[in-house]
Chain A
Amino acid sequence: MTYKFDFSFLAERWPAFLEGAWLTIQLTVVSIALGFVLGTLCAVLRVYGGGVVRRLIGGYVETIRNTPLLVQIFLVYFGLASLGLKLGAELSAIIALVINVGAYTTEIMRAGIEATGKTQLEAADCLGLSRVQTILHIVLLPAMERVYPALSSQFVLLMLASSVTSQISAEELTAVANVIQSDTYRSFEVYLVVAVVYLTLSFLYRFGFWLIGRVLFVRRRRIGAAI
């Protein structure tokens, strides 16, 4: 049996793929930004917070990291709706992605924060910085610099995982592809194109994170060494 590949749908549909990619970028950039804030906050509380807070955040991290994203998305979208809280598909997708990436960020940033040198904290104490000032000015940025590779690859993984939100009909790249393939019956070719778009996106994201790292971490840029 021979199969003739037919990519002719591209001539007409290529703007839809680009639009889908743009939707995925919007969805994931918002989720990553919010998830990063949530995760960093949780990481700080996990290290410096009281016993109860620590335990709660530990429970949050373990729960999220040991259950599938798909089930989390279903819980937010269908589960909350059945409890009377009806959120749109996009909002549900963002909430689920933020909660998910927040848990991973917590764990990654915690490692970075815990690696802060004791002398750094003592020096901050001597300068009379308050707890909050110490965390903001001394701890956080170097902590982020230490774990930046793990952090950025986690964010790229989230971008790829966001394809799952197509299952609650959130509008993004995979959902767009699902529509196109049911219009054209060229399933294999459509998903081949989508794979290429995702591949491009993941390279784009990696490059973006590299640029952000260059801007953010002055020391690494100046002397070319991490801490």
Chain B
Amino acid sequence: MNQFTSVHVIYLLEAARWTLLLSLIALLGGGILGLALALARVSRLPVLRVMAIAYIQIVQGTPLLVLLFLSYFGLSLAGYRLDPLVAAGLSLTFYVGAFLGEIWRGCIEAVPRTQWEASDCLGLNRFQQYTHVILPQAVRIATAPTVGFMVQVVKNTSLASIIGFVELTRAGQIVNNSTFQPFLVFLFVGAIYFAICYPLSVASRVLERKLHVAR
């Protein structure tokens, strides 16, 4: 039987890079989708609003694990090669998009009404209002909750292990299969997640305090 050695430690740390990459993909994809959803959510067209609400309700009411299975098996139905990274990236994008969409909608709506009216008076069109007046202020409000939500994203990438993508949790299972020391291995895996997530949690709190004082 193998002992848990520095080789395993290095293997786990290397696998953590895939966790980070997957988190990044989810944040980028989810960020783009989330922005679109947030804008649709505050749109003047009822159709867009209803569609965005329906999407958010459905995705937020379904477990990420089931979304993961749906993209994994759905991709194969659509005739693509089964690639766990693509399936995981896709489902995380759908998932993160729904949550960021709802968070960012709140941030856009938190920009005072008078800002809309003032920019109206200046003759800005809707697009200019967003890019020059509303979004820059909304971004400021959104920073703290978004950083806080990144913790959820990093933690949720652990589910990709279930469809066989070798990120941190899956690597932990593999190491455990050869060392039979699950307590030690998963404690270490948990510690790596903690090392990634805790700074984000702290940053979110600090940002919240700072931006709150500034207002």
Contacts and interface: CB of A to CB of B under 8 A. Distances in A.
B201 A67 contact: no
B156 A68 contact: yes
Nearest to B154: A68
Interface in B62-76: 62-67, 69-70, 73-74
B65 A67 contact: no
A62 B182 contact: no
Interface string B171-210: 0110010001111001101100110011001000000000
Given A65-B151, A71-B172, A174-B63, A188 B201 contact: no
A67 B155 contact: yes
B93 interface: no
Interface residues of A, number: 37
B201 A62 contact: yes
Given A65-B201, A70-B169, A199-B61, A75 B190 contact: yes
A220 to B, nearest CB: 22
A79 B66 contact: no
Contacts of A116: none
A115 interface: no
Contacts of A192: 70
A203 B63 CA distance: 13
A89 to B, nearest CB: 14
A195 B162 CA distance: 17
Could you say which of B61, B79, B189 has the most chain A C-beta atoms within 10 Å of its C-beta? B61
A62 B151 CA distance: 12
Interface of B: 58, 60-67, 69-70, 73-74, 77-79, 151, 155-156, 158-159, 161-162, 169, 172-173, 176, 180-183, 186-187, 189-190, 193-194, 197-198, 201
Interface of A: 1, 3, 62-63, 65-72, 74-75, 78-83, 160-161, 163-164, 166-167, 174, 187-188, 191-192, 194-195, 198-199, 202-203
